[in-house]
Chains A and B, each alone.
Chain A
Amino acid sequence: MPTSVTHDILIIGGGGAGLRAAIAAAEHSAKLSIGIVSKVYPMRSHTVSAEGGAAGVMRDNDSLDQHAKDTIFGADFLADQDAVEILVNEAPGELIQIEHWGCPWSRDPDGRISVRSFGGMSVDRTVYAADKTGFHMLHTLFQTSLKYESIHRYDECFVTSILADDGKARGVTFINMYSGQVQLITAKAVIICTGGCGRIFPFTTNASIKSGDGMALAYRSGVPLKDMEFVQYHPTGMPGTGILITEASRGEGGWLVNKDGYRYLQDYGLGPPTDTPVHRKMELGPRDILSRCHMQEFQKGRTFEGPYGHYVHLDLRHIGEAVIDSKLPFVRELSRNYLGIDPVYEPIPVRPVVHYMMGGIHTDADGKTPMDGLFAAGETACVSVNGANRLGSNSLTELLVFGARAGRAAAQYAEQEPAGPSQPLDALAGDEQRRLEQQYFRKEGGKVRISEIRDAMQHAMEEGVGVYRNEEDLLKTCQTLRDLRHRFSDIRIEDKTDIFNTERTTVLELDYMLDLAEAIANSALQRKESRGSHTRTDYPDRDDENFLKHTMVLRTPEGPKIEYAPVTITRWQPEERKY
């Protein structure tokens, strides 16, 4: 029988959203006991990799309506406008709050918080801490979380299932990496904050932990995933490693040039080119459009060819060493370490790379999912504020605003929810332990290597669900993924030990990713239009009549089932998205 612990609120994931939710719940009431289960130590979470900044209205030349409009426009009108208004209204307060907790925002000479320009934003509104914004935020949130006696952490514990009783989320089972034991935490409310799933793709800025565990856990619990076909390609990743070169490098004035040294974005309606950056123009266009321009340059034969495929140049030389060192020190550091290039003297090779999931677990603006007691926030959730394309620097804001809201909503829910009986959960946890032992821990035989299925899945995703998509390739990818799901049952697991068995977690992650890959590919297959990051060569136009709606994908034994839900339009009527 798995050992059991009880908390009022249990949070899966200890990154930015999870910690913000934990702090919000702890501040709501000191009586609530809060658990955070994370498969890594807190500072390893992928929030550390966010570089550019967090958007919020901070200046007199800006307005909440303008931030909302930019976000909705950037989202190609697929964002829920009531949720976007909540995001922009609560953003400034959250940004000041985290400064109050010690986050060292970069300053202007008069001592105020500095703001920088970002893609698709019509004024400077991105607050930053050099080019390690996510890092400083996570650091601050983690140290702040230590103040609360009521927050308990379970580091390096891998969640395998959400337990439900009477239709309500009531706890989780997890593998303790140190002992290999399956354990149970019961709770009145569960919040999923596990981030994205970029690892489904071969070439991504995402760290190895980004396997979408929480999305898959919700999906398996019968909760729909929303708008999963919208995958953001960031236009400036390093070839080979996929390491991100922040959009802030373009906000500070960097240029994208093709192999002829030509600022090619002017050929795609983003011009005219200017020496200093202009909001929403050229290099400050939104990410989906910039990634498509790159692919078209490649098709025209105007990109460079390297050992890791096609690339263009991000030129920062004209910005000068002083600005690079003060505003973009990390870009210089990464370029030197991983490319052997100093951006002060040489352009940086870059190409589009999978970066962010606009889609995720279906929630309302309080992080509530359709399942009672189950909440989600951060990249793993889809509220939706990002719609068909997220604007850079809205995601750090999103994890603060909606992390806090989910934490408070879960706290209120837990306060009025009676503690249910523990016997059904003990029984469910026992079942889960037996399932894990039979399928994985004690599995004998098996012929297929983990890496074989993972590579095939990643390849299929790149082929079918890349920057450009069409019916034929999508059908092929959906079929390949179905076949891989069947082959997965013949997986070979060689490590039979219990202590820190990473092969075990790798195979469980692959299991999750296969579910999500199918959800993404099938959602993309059914959306017969082009909107935001989802570009169908066979349906090149946006089709508001038939597809101004959210995709909802549900898991069935036969594969993903697609349904749709309406988009909330309040004050901004859909119009052509032109920059």
Chain B
Amino acid sequence: MAEATLKIFRGTAERSEYQTFSVPTYQGMVVLDAVHDIQAGQAPDLAVRWNCKAGKCGSCGAEVNGNPRLLCMTRMDQYPAGQPIVVEPMRRFPLIRDLVCDVSWNYEVNKRIKPLAPKPREADGTYRMQQYDIDRVQEFHKCIECFLCQDVCHVMRDHGKYDFAGPRFMVRLAALAMHPLDTVDRLRDLRDAQGIGYCNITKCCTEVCPESISITDNAIIPLKERVAGEFYDPLAWIWRALRGKKADTRNPVH
């Protein structure tokens, strides 16, 4: 039976090391299977989060050979045989232990986003919406909050700018902004509280998204356009002054 070598980060912020393990491989094996194999026999004290093993719950985010990945969705056979596969915790977040890090910051950021406030219902008590509008929102709602995009985003990872809410919350803000029922204006918050200007569209977040959400193209760029239209477009200022209207904050440009 073929074997693979894994180099796994072990320890805490105070003391850490890389430990090397050998595991038997089989067809269809993912990195999480290898980690489980190690836990079952060689290192019962290896700390790792996991749950659904189907890429839905977002628990098992980590870095494999330096790339942010879900361990349950990362096939072993994509890595060259004979070279160790390096597994580390997400680097952007404070380490708790081994492959587990503290992602609670994200939940604090989320709390500061103004929630959905829907428009009034139709006369029969329901809402009418088109599938076209629902599709767009469903794409953003696909986010499983694995926070791999928050891990890879260089604004935070390399430059330590934590006043940027990060790609995950740009997706959430886009879901709210493009929700057919929503009535709230969040453009000032986007510019100030969520720091959308920090993003310089390198698309690293889109590349790592296990749900294949077009974070940059479908969420961040439209939001940037709206913020620019509201605050930085002198023609729009004049137009609005003449018409006495606020910028259209609900419908995207098609």
Contact check: which of B47, B115, B129 meets A111 at CB < 8 Å? B129
Given known contacts A155-B104, A501-B47, A503-B44, A46 and B52 CB-to-CB distance under 8 angstroms? yes
Residues on B with beta carbons closer than 8 Å to the beta carbon of A240: 28
Across the interface, do B56 and A135 meet the contact criterion of CB distance under 8 Å? yes
A-binding segment of B135-143, B185-193, B215-223, B245-253: B135-143
Instruction: Tell whether B7 is near chain A: CB-to-CB under 8 Å.
Output: no
**Cβ of B37 to closest chain A Cβ, rounded Å:** 11
Across the interface, do A102 and B47 meet the contact criterion of CB distance under 8 Å? no
Across the interface, do A499 and B12 meet the contact criterion of CB distance under 8 Å? yes
A107–B96 Cα gap in the complex (Å)? 44
Across the interface, do A209 and B51 meet the contact criterion of CB distance under 8 Å? yes
A497–B14 Cα gap in the complex (Å)? 14
Instruction: Tell whether A572 is near chain B: CB-to-CB under 8 Å.
Output: no
Given known contacts A43-B144, A112-B126, A106 and B96 CB-to-CB distance under 8 angstroms? no
Closest to B181 in A: A102
Across the interface, do A243 and B115 meet the contact criterion of CB distance under 8 Å? no
Contact check: which of A101, A337, A502 meets B55 at CB < 8 Å? A337
A3–B121 Cα gap in the complex (Å)? 47
**Cβ of A103 to closest chain B Cβ, rounded Å:** 9
Across the interface, do A207 and B128 meet the contact criterion of CB distance under 8 Å? no
Instruction: Tell whether A144 is near chain B: CB-to-CB under 8 Å.
Output: yes
Residues on B with beta carbons closer than 8 Å to the beta carbon of A207: 51-54, 57
Residues on A with beta carbons closer than 8 Å to the beta carbon of B130: 107, 111
Across the interface, do A49 and B52 meet the contact criterion of CB distance under 8 Å? yes
A503–B121 Cα gap in the complex (Å)? 50
Instruction: Place the interface of chain B in its size category.
Output: 35 or more
Across the interface, do B111 and A146 meet the contact criterion of CB distance under 8 Å? yes
Instruction: Tell whether A371 is near chain B: CB-to-CB under 8 Å.
Output: no
Residues on A with beta carbons closer than 8 Å to the beta carbon of B144: 43, 48, 135
Q: What 1/0 mask marks residues of chain B from 98 to 123 whose CB sits below 8 Å from any chain A CB?
A: 10101110010011000110100100
Across the interface, do A105 and B51 meet the contact criterion of CB distance under 8 Å? no
Instruction: Tell whether B9 is near chain A: CB-to-CB under 8 Å.
Output: no
Instruction: Tell whether A109 is near chain B: CB-to-CB under 8 Å.
Output: yes
Instruction: Tell whether A113 is near chain B: CB-to-CB under 8 Å.
Output: yes
Instruction: Tell whether B158 is near chain A: CB-to-CB under 8 Å.
Output: no
* Chain A stretch 346-381: residues in CB contact (< 8 A) with chain B: none
* Chain A stretch 24-68: residues in CB contact (< 8 A) with chain B: 40-41, 43-46, 48-49
Residues on B with beta carbons closer than 8 Å to the beta carbon of A209: 51
Across the interface, do B44 and A495 meet the contact criterion of CB distance under 8 Å? yes
Contact check: which of A100, A113, A132, A502 meets B118 at CB < 8 Å? A100
Given known contacts A111-B129, A146-B115, A208-B50, A104 and B104 CB-to-CB distance under 8 angstroms? no
Across the interface, do B48 and A502 meet the contact criterion of CB distance under 8 Å? yes
Across the interface, do B115 and A144 meet the contact criterion of CB distance under 8 Å? yes
Closest to A111 in B: B128
Residues on A with beta carbons closer than 8 Å to the beta carbon of B134: 104-107
Residues on A with beta carbons closer than 8 Å to the beta carbon of B28: 240, 338, 340
Instruction: Tell whether A129 is near chain B: CB-to-CB under 8 Å.
Output: yes
Residues on A with beta carbons closer than 8 Å to the beta carbon of B12: 499
Residues on B with beta carbons closer than 8 Å to the beta carbon of A503: 44-45
Instruction: Tell whether B69 is near chain A: CB-to-CB under 8 Å.
Output: no
Q: What 1/0 mask marks residues of chain B from 134 to 157 whose CB sits below 8 Å from any chain A CB?
A: 100110011111000000000000
Instruction: Tell whether A538 is near chain B: CB-to-CB under 8 Å.
Output: no
Contact check: which of A43, A104, A113, A241 meets B138 at CB < 8 Å? A104
**Cβ of B50 to closest chain A Cβ, rounded Å:** 6
Contact check: which of A106, A143, A499 meets B115 at CB < 8 Å? A143
Contact check: which of B44, B104, B116, B131 meets A107 at CB < 8 Å? B131
Given A49-B56, A104-B134, A340-B28, 8 new contacts (CB under 8 A): A44-B51, A46-B57, A111-B129, A113-B126, A135-B141, A147-B115, A337-B73, A502-B47
Which residues does B use to contact A, with CB under 8 Å? 12, 28, 40, 44-45, 47-59, 73, 96-98, 100, 102-104, 107, 110-111, 115-116, 118, 121, 125-131, 134, 137-138, 141-145, 172, 176, 179, 181-182
For this complex, 28 residue pairs linking A to B, each with C-beta atoms less than 8 Å apart, are: A40-B51, A40-B57, A43-B58, A44-B58, A49-B57, A101-B118, A102-B118, A102-B179, A106-B134, A107-B130, A112-B128, A113-B126, A129-B141, A132-B138, A153-B107, A155-B107, A207-B52, A207-B54, A209-B51, A450-B44, A451-B40, A495-B44, A495-B45, A497-B97, A501-B45, A502-B47, A503-B44, A503-B45
